[in-house]
Amino acid sequence: MIRLLKIEFKKVVSYKAFWFMIGFYATLLAIMIFGIPGLIDYVAEKSGEATQFRIFKAIVFNFPDIWQNIAFVASFRFFIKIVLGIIIIILVTTEFHFLTIRANIINGFSRGDFLAGKLMMIILLAVFSTVIIFLSGLYLGFTNSVASSMGQVFGKMEYLAGYFLEVSTYLIFCLFFAILFKKTGITFIAHFVYLIIEPILDYKLPDGFDPYLPLNAMNRIIQSPNTSLIKVKTDEFNFDFQEFIAFQDVAVCVAYAGLFTALSYFILKHRDL
Amino acid sequence: MENVLTISNLDKRYGKIHAVNNLSIVVEKGSVYGILGPNGSGKTTTLGIVLGVVNSGGGSFSWFNEPNSKQNRKRIGAILEQPLFYPYLSALNNLKIVADIKQVSYDDIERVLKIVDLWERKDSKFKTFSYGMKQRLAIASALLGNPEVLIFDEPTNGLDPRGIAEIRELIIDIARQGITIILASHLLDEVQKTCSHVVVLHKGEKLFEGKVEDVLNLSNTVEVASNNAQILEIALNEFGKINEMKRNGEQFLLSLSEGITTTDLNTYLIDKGIIVSHLSVRKKSLEEQFLELLSE
């Protein structure tokens, strides 16, 4: 497995488009993470109710709630997660475009090896993304949080694990699309069309189905954060916020990761390359 | 003889096109095996199947008399149709990936790049190469790790005459080392000059399989002439061991019966008191033979 990852890494070592996308992703994340506290300060000043915003800020960035908040924002459906998806789509479709997948097989890869290599790359990207979120969380927490005991700092870390699962599953979903459509442009279009179609589908389908649609299932792992700020329920504002990661959501998500991997393997196995 | 590749009743259809039709061939160790056929005769499809990139529609194949596995492919060096590399990587990095997949040492990269004269350009990106250089890099990649079998599908595509001659010499050189070579080509000259065995494919079917010299000896034409054509004609008609005879001006073109040589013919004519002024065997080129096979 490590051997496969090393080979995948060699494939991108001087691939400018790949490093550009990674840089773009990291920059977007940095702007977001370091920009948000400043943005809150700015709004606070303009609104004339600075105190309320300061309280909001202190609560949002407070350990351990910060882990849930930051993971929620970073995994948002139409947000920067997509950049990682684009990277995976490019990495896979270029192998079809340049027929290098064919060269890999001729030289002694099995089709399973090819798929496993890409899965390793997905895990690497998901780890990379999770580590960035973790480091940013530490930075934002220590600069803004009131609470800073060890227990508080490292509490609610399961939301980072949840984030890792969600991003991995999303990237496997992108991998499946790339293997299915082979062409970069078509895969992009299919991916974005699906992003738009699923909410419509969700709306049309009977109520019980929404946890089982793939992107919904991924997004349900980390839902709207239940921080101390919005714990208050009133008659007008009666909404359930997430207090823990539900086992059922994790199970559905893992099942989808397995399903998309199996479908990808099935397609690769039965296709002439 | 040990068999390197055994193909039994292989079949492949692309919709209505029957690309490979019940094909069986055996490649023996140490041979230089040519696969001949016009474009679309199933050469590349057959090689694609035995190299694991195309799924077969029936029949079976086996490398080194072993069950199929990716491990077998690591013992083979192959070029299929066109050079396939990562365009944004250097020649060196591309070959490192090949070495990693084949699980052979990087130490061999310098040797193979020097064989194809690309060592100086090892750090250039693949996409900056001319087509001939790309083809040479593909040959280097196939040679990496000293494989037991080499498969060359149109290896001289895109090369200039000097390059073609170099590759042909390289193939002969490799064959001398006892490495088995499978060469698919529609360039007959290439096959005639380098191969020991040949199979001729047409529309996915096998038309002929055997040694190259056997194909060439299938029917040689003997030319004979003397000062007196009329006497010669009578004598030849009486000889009886001639399949076919045609008169071409003062010359007669003969196709001798099996086992009859020009020595036999000459001895007979001398006995009859006829002195020939011209006697020669016209060897058909593989190309003529090939066209004949296809027209049958």
Condensed to tens digits (0 to 9), the pLDDT of residues B215-237 reads 766 566 788 888 888 888 888 88
What is residue A214's three-state secondary structure?
helix
pLDDT for res B72: 92
Report whether B95 contacts B141 (CB < 8 A).
yes
Q: Which of A170-179, A230-239, B16-25 has the lowest mean pLDDT?
A: A230-239
- H or E segment at B268? helix B262-271
> Could you say which of B82, B87, B93 has the minimum Cβ distance to residue A13?
B93
User: Which CA distances in Å does B77 have to B23, B141, B159?
Assistant: 23, 7, 20
Report whether A110 contacts A180 (CB < 8 A).
no
Under the banding of pLDDT at 50, 70 and 90, the label for residue A188 is: very high
Q: Which of A206-220, B78-92, B275-289 has the lowest mean pLDDT?
A: B275-289
C-alpha to C-alpha distance for B32 and B150, rounded to whole angstroms: 9
C-alpha to C-alpha distance for A268 and A101, rounded to whole angstroms: 10
Q: What is the pTM of this model?
A: 0.85
Q: Which of A145-154, B27-36, B146-155 has the lowest mean pLDDT?
A: A145-154
C-alpha to C-alpha distance for B84 and A100, rounded to whole angstroms: 6
Mean pLDDT score, A26-38: 82
Token pair 């694991």 is at which residue?
A: B52
C-alpha to C-alpha distance for A101 and A200, rounded to whole angstroms: 36
Do residue A102 and residue B80 have CB atoms under 8 angstroms apart? yes
Mean pLDDT score, A137-165: 82
Please indicate whether residue A171 or residue A52 has the higher confidence score (pLDDT).
A171
pLDDT for res A61: 80
Nearest chain A Cα to B98, which residue?
A: A107
Helices (H) and strands (E) in chain B, counts: 11, 13
- Give the pair of three-digit tokens for residue B40: 């679309």
Per DSSP, B242 falls in state E
Distance from CA of B49 to the nearest CA of A (A): 9
As a residue count, chain A comes to 273
Is A9 a residue whose pLDDT tops 70?
Answer: yes
Chain A partners of B76 at a C-beta cutoff of 8 Å? 106
Distance from CA of A20 to the nearest CA of B (A): 14
Residue B17 touches chain A, beta carbons under 8 Å: no
pLDDT for res A83: 92
What is residue B261's three-state secondary structure?
coil
Chain B partners of A7 at a C-beta cutoff of 8 Å? 97, 100-101
User: Which CA distances in Å does B106 have to B93, B96, B141?
Assistant: 10, 6, 12
Do residue B74 and residue A104 have CB atoms under 8 angstroms apart? no
Q: Which residues contact B236 (CB under 8 A, 6 or more apart)?
A: B224, B242, B245, B252, B254
Q: What is the number of CB-based contacts under 8 A between chain A and chain B?
A: 77
Per DSSP, B17 falls in state E
What is residue B36's three-state secondary structure?
strand
> Could you say which of B78, B88, B101 has the minimum Cβ distance to residue A109?
B101
Q: What is the end-to-end Cα distance of chain A in Å, rounded?
A: 23
Closest C-alpha among A109, A265, A92 to residue A184: A92
C-alpha to C-alpha distance for B170 and B181, rounded to whole angstroms: 11
Is B292 a residue whose pLDDT tops 90?
Answer: no
Q: Which of A119-123, A146-150, A153-157, B56-60 has the lowest mean pLDDT?
A: A146-150
Closest C-alpha among A225, A186, A217 to residue A92: A186
Residue B97 touches chain A, beta carbons under 8 Å: yes
Give the helix ranges, DSSP H, for chain A. 2-12, 16-47, 50-60, 65-74, 81-97, 100-107, 111-144, 150-153, 158-181, 184-204, 214-221, 247-270
Under the banding of pLDDT at 50, 70 and 90, the label for residue A123 is: very high
Distance from CA of B125 to the nearest CA of A (A): 10
C-alpha to C-alpha distance for B290 and B216, rounded to whole angstroms: 9
C-alpha to C-alpha distance for A230 and A244, rounded to whole angstroms: 15
- Kindly report the number of other CB atoms within 10 A of residue A226's CB atom: 17
- Note the pLDDT tens digit of each residue in B10-56: 999 998 899 999 999 999 998 889 998 888 888 999 999 999 999 99
Per DSSP, A240 falls in state P
- Give the pair of three-digit tokens for residue B272: 């009859």
C-alpha to C-alpha distance for A13 and B42, rounded to whole angstroms: 37
Report whether B204 contacts B19 (CB < 8 A).
yes
Chain B partners of A17 at a C-beta cutoff of 8 Å? 88
User: Which CA distances in Å does A7 have to A113, B73, B79, B175?
Assistant: 11, 18, 20, 32
C-alpha to C-alpha distance for A183 and A116, rounded to whole angstroms: 20
Report whether B44 contacts B153 (CB < 8 A).
yes
- Note the pLDDT tens digit of each residue in A96-109: 999 999 999 999 99
Do residue A107 and residue B73 have CB atoms under 8 angstroms apart? yes
Is B187 a residue whose pLDDT tops 80?
Answer: no
Cis before residue B67, ω within 30 degrees of 0?
no
Report whether A56 contacts A225 (CB < 8 A).
no
Q: Which residues contact B226 (CB under 8 A, 6 or more apart)?
A: B232, B269, B274, B275, B276, B277, B278
- H or E segment at B65? none
Report whether A10 contacts B100 (CB < 8 A).
yes
- H or E segment at B5? strand B3-14
Arithmetic mean of pLDDT over chain B = 87
- Note the pLDDT tens digit of each residue in B96-129: 999 999 999 999 999 999 998 999 999 999 999 9
pLDDT for res A258: 96
With vertex at residue B129, the alpha carbon angle to CA B89 and CA B194, rounded to the nearest 5 degrees, is: 110
pLDDT for res A78: 66
Looking at residue B145, its amino acid is G
pLDDT for res A42: 81
- Note the pLDDT tens digit of each residue in B241-275: 887 788 888 888 888 877 788 888 888 888 888 88
pLDDT for res B250: 82
Token pair 């001006």 is at which residue?
A: B249
Distance from CA of A11 to the nearest CA of B (A): 7
C-alpha to C-alpha distance for B199 and B46, rounded to whole angstroms: 12
Under the banding of pLDDT at 50, 70 and 90, the label for residue B160 is: confident
Q: Using CA atoms in the order B197, B201, B207, B210, what is the torsion angle rounded to 10 degrees?
A: 0
Distance from CA of B100 to the nearest CA of A (A): 7
Q: Using CA atoms in the order A18, B82, A7, A75, what is the torsion angle rounded to 10 degrees?
A: 40
Mean pLDDT score, A50-56: 74
**For chain A, what percent of residues have pLDDT higher than 70?**
92
Please indicate whether residue A237 or residue B259 has the higher confidence score (pLDDT).
B259
DSSP secondary structure string for all residues of B191-231: HHHH-SEEEEEETTEEEEEEEHHHHHTSS-EEEEEES-HHH
